[in-house]
């Protein structure tokens, strides 16, 4: 043993001293006491590896669990990727994932989404699996919707950390099938400390209801015992006899009993159904026991339902005025015009909270043919048949009461004024099963047709007569004063509100004064005839002489002296005026010429005795009346502007040059001459009006000379630019406009607004001719001429819309070019700006991490300018004004990408990022995020649509 020890010690000492100078032959035989593994000797290597493996495993068996884990961690951290993959595969085979807890693997929101498909009974069963499952199964987001859908609402607002309130409320309502009173809720939840108004009356009603139910149960059991003891054997009596013997009235209740079932229907005051079933072959004892179990199902929610539901688009001009006049009991849903149909449905569902509206009103931009419900969805006869539109209206009308209960749809657009609009009303009524009503378009103006006659779409043509149901009044939704003010001043208010929303600067006070001045001037013009009072020479002369005499006399009682003076003045003038009055009494054999009751001071119009249901006559009279107003405004342009400017030019004191006057005002002269002839012809037809009278040839004559309007529209932009240039460069013209604009003579309008009258008149012609065509029978001799004139005016309206669209496009491109600093030229080809979107530019520290675990940091704010062929990215800098809430944004050009080479990808919502998406170009990519999910959806939908259009055009 000592020899072996000496040899081993000697061997170790010699190995330590030898260093790297070793003898391979000697070491090949002395490997027992060495840590070196002989790689060139396979047998020895394998033997030595097995010995050391057994030694490590022996040590591994003796270690604790913590030590074993440390060893495994050390080994795994030293392994390569292939070795780690081998370990993963071996573990998958050894410990297969067959009973994994999905709530532990999936994110929390996905687990809740999966559980949302479970029934309440299954959710209660899932809550018994584990504490973690119970925490998920009792979340309020799973139970609140189920309660609200059935009309069960919490009588209090849950606190921030309260858990399972909606589930407890659901279980309580299911067990009692009744909503608790505030006092019962206070006893159950211990949160209500204050009594709500009328709680005593509510408690009394609940007590009456409990006593009534108890009386019903007792009466049911008593009647059932009597019927079981006195009736014949089952099947021995006929069905009619059985029903006759068992039907008994019970103090406002209807009791129906039979051998198989027993049902009790309550009145409206206690709406519900009580049901109990009895076996078919058991004895009376079991039948009587079955009567003690019944179910009470409330037919309608106990909460009061909204009387009316009004959908209001924020695209409607001056919708704030409409909101200010909404009546009590009307639920208003103000929706975004840029949204989608599904988003609108969600907003309506959230607003009504599971209740049912009596009627549905829709106030959105539109015309006689279609309704611009949303930016990407118009409602017309053809678009109503699409899948999305049909699904939207079918779901929306579920929340409206049926026609038998007075339910229906009120559309605030003159659909009844055109054939396509009537077809849309019929299609919508057929689809929804509700009564649809709309204005008939018998009034001119932007929105004044809302106050005209309404039709429900059930107009039946009978020659020249029409039968129609009672019209619906929009005053059910909005008060009369607010609605009239909005209808007559919507355009003016929209101009002021657009400036206020966009600027919010020093112009606010001036615009407010202008709006008030217009409203006051319009009131004085229509109701007090201020023009006649101010321009009456007799009154001016009488007051002047009376005040002069009063000054000379020095009377102590000036009012009495002035009254006596005016009385003597009137007596002196009485003889002179008597002759003129006698002549006036004998004028007018066939008709009477007098000012319109609502437009005093304007040109006279015809007041014909209307016949019953003579809609053609009503439209023709409205056409003539509006034509007189139109001529009055055109005449104001010549009287107030052209004549003084021409007189100043002839007296060598020119305010404007002859060329400028010709450019601005000469086209109005030609239009005025044309329309004066049209008014004379129309007046002659109305003097001899009858059922077979024709006005279509007069309209065709007007449409044959519409080149005057075409020349005016082509020259309109030049005329407006000339006015602006002369106003800036010529102080005398600026002072002249200041004196003449917005006076009683110009109907409270400026020169630029008066020059818009021909554009507005074309639209009024289209609306009135559509109404006239609808109420003209196809066999009428006037139908052909009306159709020809209407088609010509529709082409003119399309021409105006095209000019307006091109002007708006050029303006947006110019503003965008000036807004972006360092931006290349954008006015190339047929480029159009589609939309702009503010976003945040994000960056991830590590691109190798999966998207679900990747974190992002905001680099800067960016602006996304989407064109029809490219996307421009800018850096957006926000500068806030000190001591105010105002701020301004500046844009600096970053990059531009052609849509044909751009790809977009959404990023899943996680805890680290939300509402984000990736824009991938040919050279680089950008990660952007918006503030809201609606903004992202709207921008990405527009971007994808533009990319598809660009790819199609590129091919």
Question: Scanning the structure block, which residue is given the tokens 């396509």?
Answer: 420
> b/e for 363-393, b at 16 or more Cβ within 10 A?
bbbbbbbbbbbbbebbbbbebbeeeebeebb
At 837-896, the pLDDT tens digits run 999 999 887 777 777 778 888 889 999 999 988 999 999 998 887 876 667 889 999 999
At 491-532, the pLDDT tens digits run 666 666 666 656 554 455 566 666 766 676 666 666 655 555
Residues 291, 459: contact at Cβ < 8 Å?
no
Please report the pLDDT score of residue 529 as a whole number: 59
Q: Which two tokens stand for residue 931?
A: 């503030």
List, in sequence order, every residue forming a beta bridge with 374; answer none if it has no partner.
377
Residues 774-791: what's their mean pLDDT?
A: 89
Q: Compare 917 and 193 and report the one with higher pLDDT.
A: 917
Q: In angstroms, what CA-CA distances link 740 with 568, 601, 642?
A: 38, 18, 11
431 has a pLDDT exceeding 90: no
Q: Compare 183 and 755 and report the one with higher pLDDT.
A: 755
CA 907, CA 914: separation in Å to the nearest integer? Answer: 8
Residues 401, 356: contact at Cβ < 8 Å?
yes
CA 424, CA 430: separation in Å to the nearest integer? Answer: 10
Highest mean pLDDT among 553-557, 687-691, 791-795: 791-795
Give the three-state DSSP class for 116. coil
Q: Which two tokens stand for residue 531?
A: 């023009």
CA angle 337, 340, 344 (to 5 degrees): 80
Q: Compare 376 and 601 and report the one with higher pLDDT.
A: 376
Residues 172-200: what's their mean pLDDT?
A: 57
Confidence of residue 580 (pLDDT cuts 50, 70, 90): low
User: How many Å from the N-terminal Cα to the C-terminal Cα in the chain?
Assistant: 95
243 has a pLDDT exceeding 60: no
Q: Compare 278 and 442 and report the one with higher pLDDT.
A: 442
Q: What mean pLDDT value characterizes the chain?
A: 75
Q: Residue 797: how many CB atoms within 10 A of its CB?
A: 16
Q: Which of 296-305, 502-511, 787-796 has the lowest mean pLDDT?
A: 296-305
Please report the pLDDT score of residue 397 as a whole number: 87
At 20-36, the pLDDT tens digits run 344 444 444 444 444 55
155 has a pLDDT exceeding 80: no
Give the three-state DSSP class for 944. helix
Please report the pLDDT score of residue 231 as a whole number: 43
CA 404, CA 350: separation in Å to the nearest integer? Answer: 26
At 52-62, the pLDDT tens digits run 888 888 898 98
Nearest CA to 314 out of 141, 145, 497 is that of 497
Q: In angstroms, what CA-CA distances link 114 with 133, 165, 621, 719, 911?
A: 12, 21, 65, 65, 19
Residue 275 is inside which H or E element, if any?
A: strand 273-277
633 has a pLDDT exceeding 50: yes
Please report the pLDDT score of residue 502 as a whole number: 60
Q: For residue 296, how far is the Cα from the chain centroid? A: 39
655 has a pLDDT exceeding 50: yes
CA 142, CA 113: separation in Å to the nearest integer? Answer: 9
> b/e for 501-522, b at 16 or more Cβ within 10 A?
eeeeeeeeeebeebbeebbebb
User: What is the chain's Cα-based Rg?
Assistant: 43
- Residues making up the chain, counted from first to last: 955
At 103-138, the pLDDT tens digits run 888 888 899 999 999 988 899 999 998 888 998 999
**Residues in Cβ contact with 297 at an 8 Å cutoff, skipping those fewer than 6 apart:** 177, 272, 273, 275
At 395-419, the pLDDT tens digits run 888 888 888 888 889 998 888 888 8
833 has a pLDDT exceeding 80: yes
> b/e for 916-951, b at 16 or more Cβ within 10 A?
bbebebeeeebbbbbeeeebbbbbbebbeebbeebe
Nearest CA to 625 out of 823, 443, 464 is that of 443
* Beta strands at 308-313 and 330-335: parallel, antiparallel or unpaired: parallel
Please report the pLDDT score of residue 283 as a whole number: 40
**Residues in Cβ contact with 845 at an 8 Å cutoff, skipping those fewer than 6 apart:** 855, 857
CA 813, CA 471: separation in Å to the nearest integer? Answer: 46
**Residues in Cβ contact with 125 at an 8 Å cutoff, skipping those fewer than 6 apart:** none
Q: For residue 136, how far is the Cα from the chain centroid? A: 34
At 451-466, the pLDDT tens digits run 888 876 443 333 333 3
Phi, psi (rounded to 5 degrees) for 546: -65, -45
Phi, psi (rounded to 5 degrees) for 939: -70, -45
Q: Which two tokens stand for residue 826?
A: 């954008």
Residues 902, 871: contact at Cβ < 8 Å?
yes
CA 421, CA 419: separation in Å to the nearest integer? Answer: 5
Percentage of the chain modeled with pLDDT above 70: 71
Give the three-state DSSP class for 295. strand
296 has a pLDDT exceeding 50: no
Residues 687, 677: contact at Cβ < 8 Å?
no
Phi, psi (rounded to 5 degrees) for 263: -130, 150
Q: Is 239 exposed, middle or buried (0-12, 13-18, 19+ CB in 10 A)?
A: exposed
Residue 948 is inside which H or E element, if any?
A: helix 933-954
603 has a pLDDT exceeding 90: no
Q: Residue 266: how many CB atoms within 10 A of its CB?
A: 20
904 has a pLDDT exceeding 50: yes
Confidence of residue 590 (pLDDT cuts 50, 70, 90): very low
Please report the pLDDT score of residue 591 as a whole number: 36
**Residues in Cβ contact with 555 at an 8 Å cutoff, skipping those fewer than 6 apart:** 561
Residues 323, 313: contact at Cβ < 8 Å?
no
CA 767, CA 368: separation in Å to the nearest integer? Answer: 7
Please report the pLDDT score of residue 154 as a whole number: 81
């Amino acid at each position: 043993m000592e020899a072996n020890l000496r040899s081993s010690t000697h061997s170790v000492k010699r190995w330590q001293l030898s260093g790297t100078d070793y003898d391979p032959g000697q070491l090949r035989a002395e490997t027992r006491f060495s840590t070196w593994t002989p790689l060139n000797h396979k047998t020895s290597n394998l033997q030595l590896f097995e010995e050391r493996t057994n030694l490590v495993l022996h040590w591994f068996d003796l270690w604790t669990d913590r030590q074993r884990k440390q060893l495994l961690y050390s080994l795994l951290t030293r392994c390569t990727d292939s070795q780690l993959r081998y370990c993963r595969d071996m573990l998958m085979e050894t410990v297969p994932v067959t009973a994994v807890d999905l709530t532990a693997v999936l994110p929390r929101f996905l687990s809740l989404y999966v559980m949302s498909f479970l029934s309440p009974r299954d959710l209660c069963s899932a809550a018994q699996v584990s504490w973690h499952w119970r925490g998920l199964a009792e979340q309020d987001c799973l139970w609140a919707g189920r309660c609200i859908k059935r009309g069960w609402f919490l009588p209090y607002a849950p606190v921030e950390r309260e858990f399972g309130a909606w589930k407890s409320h659901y279980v309580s309502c299911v067990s009692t099938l009744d909503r608790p009173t505030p006092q019962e809720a206070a006893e159950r939840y211990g949160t209500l400390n204050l009594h709500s108004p009328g709680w005593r009356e509510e408690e009394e009603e609940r007590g009456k209801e409990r006593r009534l139910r108890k009386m019903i149960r007792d009466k049911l059991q008593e009647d059932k015992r009597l019927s079981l003891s006195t009736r014949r054997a089952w099947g021995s009596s006929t069905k009619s006899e059985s029903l006759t013997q068992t039907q008994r009235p019970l103090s406002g209740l209807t009791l129906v009993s039979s051998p198989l079932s027993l049902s009790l229907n309550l009145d409206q005051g206690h709406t519900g159904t009580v049901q109990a079933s009895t076996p078919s072959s058991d004895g009376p004892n079991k039948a009587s026991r079955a009567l003690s179990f019944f179910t009470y199902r409330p037919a309608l929610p106990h909460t009061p339902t909204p009387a009316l539901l009004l959908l209001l688009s924020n695209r409607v001009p001056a919708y704030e005025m409409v909101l200010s006049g909404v009546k009590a009991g009307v639920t208003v849903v103000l929706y975004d015009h840029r949204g989608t149909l599904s988003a609108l449905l969600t907003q309506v569902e959230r607003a009504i909270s599971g209740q049912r509206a009596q009627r549905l009103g829709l106030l959105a931009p539109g015309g006689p043919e279609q309704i611009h419900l949303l930016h990407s969805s118009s409602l017309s006869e053809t678009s109503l048949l699409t899948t999305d539109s049909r699904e939207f209206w079918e779901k929306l009308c579920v929340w409206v009461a049926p026609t038998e209960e007075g339910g229906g749809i009120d559309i605030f657009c003159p659909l009844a004024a055109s054939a396509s609009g009537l077809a849309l009303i019929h299609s919508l009524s057929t689809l929804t099963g509700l009564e649809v009503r709309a204005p008939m378009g018998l009034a001119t103006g932007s929105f004044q047709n809302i106050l005209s006659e309404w039709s429900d779409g059930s107009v039946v043509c009978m020659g020249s007569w029409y039968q129609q149901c009672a019209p619906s009044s929009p005053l059910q939704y909005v008060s009369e004063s607010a609605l009239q003010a909005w209808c007559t001043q919507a355009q003016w208010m929209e101009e002021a509100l657009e400036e206020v929303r966009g600027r919010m600067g020093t112009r606010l006070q001036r615009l407010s004064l202008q709006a008030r001045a217009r409203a006051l001037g319009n009131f004085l013009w229509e109701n007090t005839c201020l023009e006649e009072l101010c321009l009456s020479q007799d009154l001016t002369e009488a007051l002047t002489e009376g005040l002069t005499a009063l000054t000379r006399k020095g009377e102590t009682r000036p009012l009495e002296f002035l009254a006596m003076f005016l009385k003597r003045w009137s007596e002196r003038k009485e003889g002179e005026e008597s002759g003129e009055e006698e002549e006036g009494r004998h004028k007018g054999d066939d008709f009477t010429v007098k000012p319109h009751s609502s437009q005093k001071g304007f040109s006279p119009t015809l007041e014909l005795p209307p016949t019953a249901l003579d809609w053609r006559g009503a439209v023709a009279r409205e056409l003539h009346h509006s034509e007189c107003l139109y001529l009055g405004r055109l005449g104001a342009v010549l009287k107030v502007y052209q004549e003084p400017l021409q007189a100043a030019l002839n007296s060598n004191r020119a305010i404007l040059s002859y060329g400028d006057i010709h450019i601005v005002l000469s086209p109005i002269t030609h239009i005025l001459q044309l329309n004066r002839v049209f008014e004379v012809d129309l007046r002659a037809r109305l003097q001899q009006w009858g059922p077979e009278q024709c006005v279509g040839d007069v309209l065709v004559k007007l449409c044959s000379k519409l080149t005057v309007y075409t020349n005016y529209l082509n020259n309109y932009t030049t005329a407006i630019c000339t006015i602006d240039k002369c106003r800036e460069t010529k102080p005398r013209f600026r002072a002249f406009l200041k004196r003449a604009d917005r006076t009683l003579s110009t109907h409270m309008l400026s020169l630029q607004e008066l020059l818009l009258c021909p554009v507005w008149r074309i639209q009024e012609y289209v609306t009135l001719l559509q109404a006239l065509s609808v109420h003209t029978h196809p066999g009428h001799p006037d139908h052909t001429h009306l159709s020809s004139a209407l088609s010509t005016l529709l082409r003119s309206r399309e021409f105006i819309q095209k000019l307006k669209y091109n002007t708006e496009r050029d303006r947006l491109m110019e503003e965008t070019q000036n807004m972006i600093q360092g931006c290349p030229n954008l006015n190339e080809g047929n480029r159009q700006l589609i939309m702009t979107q503010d976003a945040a530019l994000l960056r991830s520290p590590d691109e190798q991490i999966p998207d679900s675990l990747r974190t992002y940091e905001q680099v800067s704010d960016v602006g996304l300018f989407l064109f029809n062929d490219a996307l421009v990215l800018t850096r957006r800098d926000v500068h806030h004004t000190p001591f105010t809430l105002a701020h301004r944004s500046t844009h600096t050009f970053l990059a531009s990408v052609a849509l044909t080479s751009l790809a977009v990808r959404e990023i899943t919502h996680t805890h680290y990022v939300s509402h984000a998406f990736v824009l991938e170009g040919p050279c680089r990519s950008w990660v952007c995020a918006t503030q809201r999910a609606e903004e992202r959806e709207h921008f990405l939908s527009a971007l994808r649509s533009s990319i598809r259009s660009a790819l199609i055009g590129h091919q």
